[in-house]
C-alpha cells in the first residue's frame, strides 16, 4: 500500500469522525445555554449561592445527558459550599493515558447577567463535551465547569480552578494541557474597535475585533502553538496568539493561571474581554449582544482542532 493510498484512507477516516458536527444544532444549543444562564438564572456571583447551585445542577444534568462520567468537587469559601462540575469522556486510544482538560467558569461578578463573561464559555464547554461524547478522541478529555473565578477570590487559592488544579497534582494526573474558555461571543468588525494592553501591540495585531485570541505564559508556548496550528488547519476564523509574562495585563486573567502554578501547560481562548467588549462586568453583558454564528464556527473549529492534534502527534 503506497503513501497516497494511506493518505486517502486517513483523510476519509478523519472526515467521517466529524460527520455529526452540525452548525445549526450547535448554534441553537449555544443560544439556549447563554439565555438560560444569563436570563433565566441571571447574576451568578459568589453571594448568590442558590443561583450558583442551580447552575451547577443544570450543568451536571447536561453533562449526564451526553453520557459523560460526572462528579461534583465541593469546596468552601466564607462558610459557603461551592461546586466544580467535572465531566469526563474516556479516550478511545489504548496507549494514550494523558488527560486533556478544557474548562470555563460559570460564576459572574455582582451586578451583571454575564452572557459573554462567562455564559459564552460555558456554552462552548457544553457543546464540546456533547460532540466529544458522541465521537471520543484517543485522549481522555475532562470538561470542567469552575465556580468562583471572579473577584473577590480572583488570583487566590479560593478559586475553583485552583482547587481543581491542586487536586490533579495530588492525584498525580498525567495532564497533556489545559484550555480555559473565557468569553467567546463578542466580535466587532469596524476599524479601531479592538484595544490592547500596551500601545505597541497595535503594530502587530489587528485593529478590528473579528478574531479569537489564544493567550498563555511563556512556558505554555509550545502547547499554544501546536493547538493554534491545528486550529488554523481546520477553521477559517482569524486567530491571534500571545505567550508572555503575567506583567502584561490580561495574560493571566482566567482559570488557566492556576494550572501554571502546578506545572501544567495552559492557555486561554478569548474574545479579548474588556479590550473589545465594553459590556464587560456590566448590566449590558446580555445574550442579545453576542454573535452566535461566530461562536458556533469557533466551537466546530475547536473540536476539529483537537482531532487534528491527535493525527499530528
CATH label of the domain that carries residue 93: 3.40.630.10
Count structural domains, the chain. 1
What pLDDT is attached to residue 141?
97
What pLDDT is attached to residue 268?
98
What pLDDT is attached to residue 7?
43
For residue 266, the cross-strand partners are 178
Does 10 map to a domain?
no
Does 73 map to a domain?
yes
Give the closest residue to 273 by CA, choosing from 233, 201, 228, 213.
213
For residue 84, the cross-strand partners are 73
Does 9 map to a domain?
no
Does 262 map to a domain?
yes
Give the pTM. Answer: 0.94
Does 8 map to a domain?
no
Q: Do 266 and 260 contact (CB within 8 A), yes or no?
A: yes
Q: Is the dihedral of CA 256, 296, 69, 54 positive or negative?
A: positive
What pLDDT is attached to residue 6?
40
Does 11 map to a domain?
no
Q: Do 87 and 150 contact (CB within 8 A), yes or no?
A: no
Residues with pLDDT less than 70, the chain: 1-17, 94-95, 312-313
Structure confidence by residue, pLDDT tens digits, 175-218: 999 999 999 999 999 999 999 999 999 999 999 999 999 999 99
Query: What does the alpha-carbon distance between residue 236 and residue 211 come to, in Å, rounded to a whole number?
Result: 10
Query: Which residues 6+ apart lie within 8 Å of 5 measured at CB?
Result: none
Q: Do 207 and 192 contact (CB within 8 A), yes or no?
A: yes
Structure confidence by residue, pLDDT tens digits, 267-302: 999 999 999 999 999 999 999 999 999 999 999 999
What pLDDT is attached to residue 10?
45
Domain of 187?
Answer: 21-312
Strand order in the sheet with 266-270: 69-77, 80-89, 140-146, 99-105, 175-182, 266-270, 212-216, 239-243
Longest dimension (CA), the chain: 65
Does 63 map to a domain?
yes
What pLDDT is attached to residue 8?
43
Does 13 map to a domain?
no
What pLDDT is attached to residue 15?
56
What pLDDT is attached to residue 11?
46
Amino acid at each position: 500500500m503506497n503513501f497516497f493510498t494511506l493518505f486517502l484512507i486517513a483523510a476519509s477516516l478523519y472526515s467521517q469522525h466529524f460527520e455529526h458536527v452540525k452548525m445549526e444544532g450547535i448554534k441553537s444549543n449555544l443560544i439556549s445555554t447563554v439565555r438560560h444562564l444569563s436570563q433565566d438564572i441571571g447574576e451568578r456571583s459568589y453571594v448568590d449561592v442558590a443561583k450558583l447551585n442551580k447552575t451547577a445542577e443544570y450543568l451536571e444534568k447536561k453533562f449526564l445527558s451526553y453520557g459523560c462520567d460526572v462528579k461534583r468537587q465541593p469546596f468552601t469559601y466564607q462558610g459557603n459550599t461551592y461546586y466544580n462540575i467535572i465531566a469526563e469522556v474516556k479516550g478511545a486510544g489504548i496507549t494514550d493515558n494523558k488527560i486533556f482538560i478544557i474548562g470555563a467558569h460559570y460564576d459572574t461578578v455582582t451586578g451583571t447577567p454575564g452572557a459573554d463573561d462567562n455564559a459564552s464559555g460555558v456554552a462552548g464547554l457544553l457543546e464540546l463535551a456533547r460532540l466529544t461524547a458522541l465521537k471520543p478522541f484517543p485522549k481522555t478529555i475532562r470538561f470542567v465547569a469552575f465556580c468562583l473565578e471572579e473577584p473577590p477570590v480572583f488570583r487566590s487559592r479560593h478559586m475553583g480552578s485552583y482547587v481543581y488544579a491542586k487536586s490533579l497534582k495530588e492525584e498525580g494526573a498525567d495532564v497533556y494541557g489545559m484550555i480555559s474558555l473565557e468569553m467567546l461571543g463578542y466580535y466587532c468588525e469596524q476599524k479601531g474597535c479592538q484595544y490592547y494592553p500596551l500601545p505597541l501591540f497595535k503594530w502587530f495585531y489587528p485593529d478590528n475585533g473579528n478574531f479569537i485570541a489564544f493567550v498563555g505564559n511563556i512556558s505554555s508556548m509550545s502547547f499554544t502553538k501546536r493547538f493554534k496550528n491545528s486550529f488554523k488547519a481546520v477553521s477559517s476564523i482569524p486567530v491571534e496568539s500571545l505567550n508572555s509574562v503575567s506583567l502584561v495585563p490580561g495574560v493571566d486573567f482566567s482559570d488557566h493561571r492556576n494550572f501554571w502554578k502546578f506545572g501544567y501547560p495552559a492557555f486561554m481562548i478569548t474574545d479579548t474581554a474588556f479590550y473589545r467588549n465594553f459590556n464587560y462586568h456590566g448590566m449590558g453583558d446580555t445574550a442579545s449582544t453576542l454573535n452566535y454564528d461566530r461562536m458556533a464556527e469557533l466551537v466546530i473549529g475547536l473540536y476539529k482542532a483537537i482531532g487534528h492534534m491527535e493525527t499530528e502527534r
